[in-house]
Structures are given as structure tokens and as C-alpha cells.
Amino acid sequence: MKEGSIMKLFSSESVTPGHPDKIADLISDSILDAYLLKDPNTRAAIETCLKDNVIFIFGEVSTHVEVDIEAIVKETIKKIGYDKKELGFWYDDIIINYQISQQSPDIALGVDETDNKEQGAGDQGLMFGYANNDTKEFMPLPIYLAHLLSKRLVEVRRKNIIKGLRPDGKVQVTVAYDNKVAQYVSAVVVSTQHDEELSLDFIRQEIKKHVIKAIIPHGLLNENTKYYINPTGRFVIGGPVGDAGLTGRKIIVDTYGGYARHGGGAFSGKDASKVDRSASYMARYIAKQIVAANIAKECEVQIAYAIGVAQPVSVYVDTFGTSKVDEILIMNTILATFDLRPKAITEFLQLKKPIFTQSTNFGHFGKPNLTWEKLDHVKIFADLVV
């Protein structure tokens, strides 16, 4: 850090699977995966809303198979950790209402593939993908650390490393940057649901020891780091009892923590014909290849579609002045290499498989096991540097 330089602070948030919105996301994706397991050509847009012990599931599904929605919902809630009556919300005492119909025939006209027409995009919209060199996963550091802390919060509860924690939780990390280079963690916020008898001092001591300091590298914590652990002083009532949950309400948690743009469409509950999901995954894939090729320190890719039209109406690349080669050359390489029609993206990223519950929690990006995180087209961009 240069002497006299001014730090810029950036914050990102993550939430645990027990957060009401993430319960809704996982229910939607679990139902989607169940359909895809039996019928890979399923078209779905499944929404979930929950409050207290009442769950509403609604949307459109076009398929020739049936799944046991009630069993899926109960098993999903149980796996998250709402498995005891004293939590207020638990899997064996819920009321499920669902209203699911076939996809609108007007939409199907634009999406269905026929002898005379290729498959079009399931909706209009614009999607963004992003990568930078903050981390080995090519994710911005604030959201990367927030997800790690959120995962650790789940781990210490499930393994009983910290006794008395409950499933709902939120994490926020603030990173101090100097000229876009991360210097240290300025603040960490952790709010975790807990049993009533736990003292605030106990929670703060244990979370700092077993969650924060177990995850954030020592070099990123210093005397300027501020810790806010259960800052309200009490978090006993949580989950859908404390707040309503709704599919798609954590899109910034799902993407880049606000560090990069998001097109607006949510992911969970949607099959790959919905470009909100598939094109966002493809844009991330391309941006990651470019940064991994070391021709840019960061890269954002936008792809936009018109409903019923296969080819995107626009493709845009921004390397924020960090590229070693002309962005037009990068753009031409993308267009020459990748087929960005929805059907082609689905095949390329293998998105007809029941893989979406793997993406629901702790972000949809930065996980090496997901197809859109593979680094198998790096060389074509690395070769652009003469």
C-alpha cells in the first residue's frame, strides 16, 4: 500500500441454507432436479414462498412425469436442519399448497423447437458473467470470504463444534482495497440463530474463534478489523417464523456479492431454457476463461436475448482497462468459439442433468464441480497475446 493512499471499502453478504429465502430457493431447485431426473426435457419455472409453517409452491412445469412434491419439500427442510419441533419451523408440521400449471402456449411458441424453427430463448433479458483475479476461484474476495464463513457457520452447527446454534444465519464481509488490490478485511458481520439459553458473550467468543479466525487468513485480519457478532444481542426466532421466504430474493448472494452487475433474473427453480439461468452461467464461464488466461485482471461479459429468438441480440465484454489485448479481439474470439444459442449452451454445460441443488447455496459461482466453472478454453484466449 502506498503511503497516503485512500482505502476503498467493499462489502458482500452470504446467508446459510436455513435463511428463509434460501429455504425457498432449495425447495424450488429440489423439485426441479426431481423432474429432470425423470425427464431431462422438463421445462420449469417453480416459485416457493413460505411463512411460519405454511408453504406455497406455484409456477409452470411442462413434463410427462410426476414427482412427489410433498415428500421433496419435507426432505429438503429436514436436510437443512429444521428437524426439531422446538425450532418453531420443522419438516413434520407444515402445510403445503401448490398451484402448478403447464407452460403458457404463447411462450412455448417461441421456445419449442420444430422442423422449421430452432429453440428460442425462454424470455427476453440481459445476463452478466464476471471473473477477477482476487482469488484462485476467480471470484471477488468479499463474496468469496462471505460464502466460506457461511459454510463454516453451517459446519460448526452440524458437527456440534459450537453447541446450541440453529439453522438461520447471515454473514457480511468488508474488504479494504487500494487501487483494486485487496489489503485487509475491514469488518466481519455474523448473525446466527441460537438456542435461548446461550449467552451473547459465549456466542461472540465461539463464533470469533471457530468461524471467523478459522476461515479468514491471518494476514487479512489486523488491529483495524471490526467484528459484529449478533449485533442486535439476540437471535432466537429465525427461519420462516422470523421472516417470510421467497425464491429468487437473494440474487446478489447468488452471483458476485454486488461486485459485478446482475441482469435481474433469478436462477432457482428454472430449467436451462430460461436464459436468466443458463446464459448467466455461460457468461461466467467465458469471463473466467479470459481472466484465467492472464490476458485481463477482471472481465465482465453481458449476453442479451429476445424471447423466442435463438441468437443473442447482443454480446458485450468489459475488462475495465486491464486487458493486454484489444477487447474487440476478445469479442471476436468469443463469437468465433462459442455457440450462444440457448440449446447450444444447455448442451455445452450439460444443463439437462439434475445438478441444480448443488448450486443453490453459497453462491452459484466459484464451485469447481460445476460445469460452468471448468477451465477448458483458457488457451484460445492466452494465445491472443503475441
Domain CATH code at residue 201: 3.30.300.10
Is residue 287 domain-resident? yes
Bridge partners of 8, per DSSP, are 177
In this predicted structure, the answer to whether residue 148 has a pLDDT above a threshold of 90 is yes
pLDDT score at 172: 98
* Shared domain check, 366 and 288: yes
pLDDT score at 119: 75
Is residue 258 domain-resident? no
Q: What confidence category does residue 7 fall into, taking pLDDT thresholds of 50, 70 and 90? A: confident
* Shared domain check, 298 and 227: no
* Shared domain check, 375 and 290: yes
Q: What is the mean pLDDT of the chain?
A: 94
pLDDT tens, 13-62? 999 999 999 999 999 999 999 999 999 999 999 999 999 999 999 999 99
Q: How many angstroms separate the CA atoms of 217 and 220, rounded?
A: 6
Q: Count how many domains the chain has.
A: 2
DSSP string, 304-352: EE-BT-SS-SEEEEE-TT--SS-HHHHHHHHHHH---SHHHHHHHTTTT
- Quick count: other Cβ atoms within 10 Å of Cβ 88? 18
* Shared domain check, 233 and 311: no
In this predicted structure, the answer to whether residue 3 has a pLDDT above a threshold of 70 is no
Q: How many angstroms separate the CA atoms of 34 and 67, rounded?
A: 7
Query: pTM, whole model, 2 decimals?
Result: 0.94
pLDDT score at 1: 47
Is residue 253 domain-resident? no
Is residue 24 domain-resident? no
**What's the number of CA atoms in the CB half-sphere (13 Å) around residue 120?**
20
Mean pLDDT of 81-101: 93
- Going by their DSSP bridges, the two strands 181-194 and 165-178 should be labelled as antiparallel
Domain enclosing residue 151, as ranges: 9-14+140-238
* Shared domain check, 211 and 233: yes
* Shared domain check, 359 and 279: yes
Is residue 343 domain-resident? yes
pLDDT score at 384: 95
- Quick count: other Cβ atoms within 10 Å of Cβ 179? 11
pLDDT score at 168: 98
Is residue 146 domain-resident? yes
Measured torsion, CA atoms of residues 45, 350, 129, 330, in degrees rounded to the nearest 10? -140
Q: How many angstroms separate the CA atoms of 36 and 313, rounded?
A: 29
Active site amino acids: 19, 21-22, 47, 60, 170, 235, 243-244, 249-250, 270, 274, 276
3-state DSSP percent of the chain in helix, strand and coil, to 5: 35, 25, 40
pLDDT score at 116: 62
Is residue 300 domain-resident? yes
